[in-house]
A = this chain, B = another copy of it.
Amino acid sequence: MRIAVDVMGGDHGCAVVIEGAKRALESGSNITALHLVGRESEIHAALAHAGLRDRRVHVVHASDFLTMDDKPARALRKKRDSSIARAIGLIHDGKADAAVSLGNTGGIFAAATIKLGRISGVDRGGIATVIPTPDHRFVLLDSGANIECKPIHLAHYAVMGSIYAREVLGYKSPRVGILSIGTEDTKGNELTLGAFGLCQQIDIDFIGNIEGHDLFKGGVDVVVCDGFVGNIVLKTCESLAGAIFSMLRSELNKNPKRQLGALLVHNAFRGIKRRLDPELHAGAPLLGFNGAVIKTHGSARERAVMNAIRIAAETVEHHVNKIISREIAHANDRLAAHVSIAPTPVIA
């Protein structure tokens, strides 16, 4: 397993990313090569600082990188030697099996589109984020790449999310729902109503519409929506969970009686925070491209980087892209057959 890590563009600098890469090398025996892509001098300094001397590590110089403010397509054209383009280019050149980046989401998506291209039959790629719930976790896609979606995109997300949930998360027959404003077939907007019809035709465990109330009840494994809605849902959840825990902290500090109580229940909070920990689920795979690309938060720290690298390895090991290629072709056949057997509209 050969993994390219774009070490630039994270909020905490490349040293944190390289420390995360070091932990991944220590824990993951199946990594045979780790390409660290970015400014050579910074990488060498960080390697020395981390005390990382490993024959599997290769430094790949890229003179530039995309900032969070860069407009993806334009920046990729202007910054010809960007770390993300170079990292993903290593997959294209057959030197890496997967790439991981903390950078600009749009930039990663655009670089994957340009350098790798989409899997044949896939209309649009998407980002799949795994969201933890009390007793479960579900895949949300698209979580922020494809802002203006068509029904066929959601149908393809349903297929790809289902494959990811089955092959990587280990769900036997993942239940797929379309995120909408009511569970009835007739509830939704033009996009979700169109996608509903398509999802009924394809070979997935389609449970219909789900609404916001259903997300954390454990009844759905793959939640499909456009990238605008997905991004808002993802960030809203992170924001609300953070707000509740910060309220808890301040309330528990209000008087000595509560402080004593807080000591006694400390492990309970730790248990919950561990279960909901976004760092643990930090790697979001871009699905639908000819190569495994994993995006993680700009604010990711060592543990998140390590987990993103682990997720990259799992995505490759489980042949996710090969299966996507096969099942998307099958789904497209089903959809085409459905269209061709549909009655031709009569024009009066």
A200 within 8 A of B: no
| Chain A 229-270 near chain B by CB (<8 Å), digits 1 or 0 | 101111111111111101110111010011011111101110
Contact of A233 among B147, B186, B212 (CB under 8 A): B212
A254 pairs with B268, CB closer than 8 A:
yes
B265 pairs with A240, CB closer than 8 A:
no
B247 pairs with A69, CB closer than 8 A:
no
A-side interface residues, number (CB < 8 Å): 61
**In the complex, A48 Cα to B148 Cα: how many Å?**
56
A181 within 8 A of B: yes
A189 within 8 A of B: yes
A181 pairs with B232, CB closer than 8 A:
yes
Chain B residues with Cβ under 8 A from A180's Cβ?
A: 228, 232
- State whether A244 and B247 are in contact (beta carbons under 8 Å apart), knowing that A189-B228, A212-B238 are contacts in the complex: no
| Chain A 267-294 near chain B by CB (<8 Å), digits 1 or 0 | 1110110011000000000000000000
**In the complex, A216 Cα to B275 Cα: how many Å?**
21
Task: For the complex formed, measure the closest distance between the CB of A141 and the CB atoms of chain B, giving whole angstroms.
Answer: 15
**In the complex, A236 Cα to B232 Cα: how many Å?**
10
**In the complex, A229 Cα to B233 Cα: how many Å?**
9
A215 pairs with B186, CB closer than 8 A:
no
- State whether A240 and B241 are in contact (beta carbons under 8 Å apart), knowing that A147-B189, A211-B235 are contacts in the complex: yes
Task: For the complex formed, measure the closest distance between the CB of A191 and the CB atoms of chain B, giving whole angstroms.
Answer: 9
A56 within 8 A of B: no
The A contact surface, by secondary structure, is helix
B248 pairs with A234, CB closer than 8 A:
no
A213 within 8 A of B: yes
Chain B residues with Cβ under 8 A from A319's Cβ?
A: none
Contact of A229 among B228, B237, B247, B265 (CB under 8 A): B228
- State whether A257 and B264 are in contact (beta carbons under 8 Å apart), knowing that A228-B181, A232-B179 are contacts in the complex: yes
Chain B residues with Cβ under 8 A from A318's Cβ?
A: none
Chain A 168-186 interface residues, beta-carbon cutoff 8 Å to B: 179-181, 184, 186
Contact of A263 among B148, B254, B261, B267 (CB under 8 A): B261
Task: For the complex formed, measure the closest distance between the CB of A335 and the CB atoms of chain B, giving whole angstroms.
Answer: 24
- State whether A258 and B248 are in contact (beta carbons under 8 Å apart), knowing that A147-B189, A189-B147, A240-B240 are contacts in the complex: no
**In the complex, A134 Cα to B271 Cα: how many Å?**
23
Provide a sorted-by-A list of 27 A–B residue pairs whose CB atoms are within 8 angstroms: A69-B184, A134-B246, A134-B247, A134-B250, A148-B190, A180-B228, A181-B227, A181-B231, A181-B232, A212-B231, A213-B238, A213-B239, A215-B239, A216-B239, A216-B243, A236-B236, A236-B237, A240-B241, A244-B272, A247-B276, A248-B268, A251-B268, A254-B268, A258-B264, A261-B263, A262-B265, A264-B264
Q: A232-B232, A244-B244 are in contact. List 20 more A-B contacts (CB 8 A).
A: A71-B186, A134-B247, A179-B232, A181-B227, A212-B231, A212-B233, A212-B236, A212-B238, A215-B239, A217-B243, A228-B229, A229-B232, A247-B275, A251-B268, A258-B268, A260-B261, A261-B261, A261-B265, A264-B264, A265-B265
**Chain A residues within 8 Å of B, Cβ to Cβ:** 69, 71, 133-134, 144, 147-148, 179-181, 184, 186, 188-190, 211-217, 227-229, 231-244, 246-248, 250-252, 254, 257-258, 260-265, 267-269, 271-272, 275-276
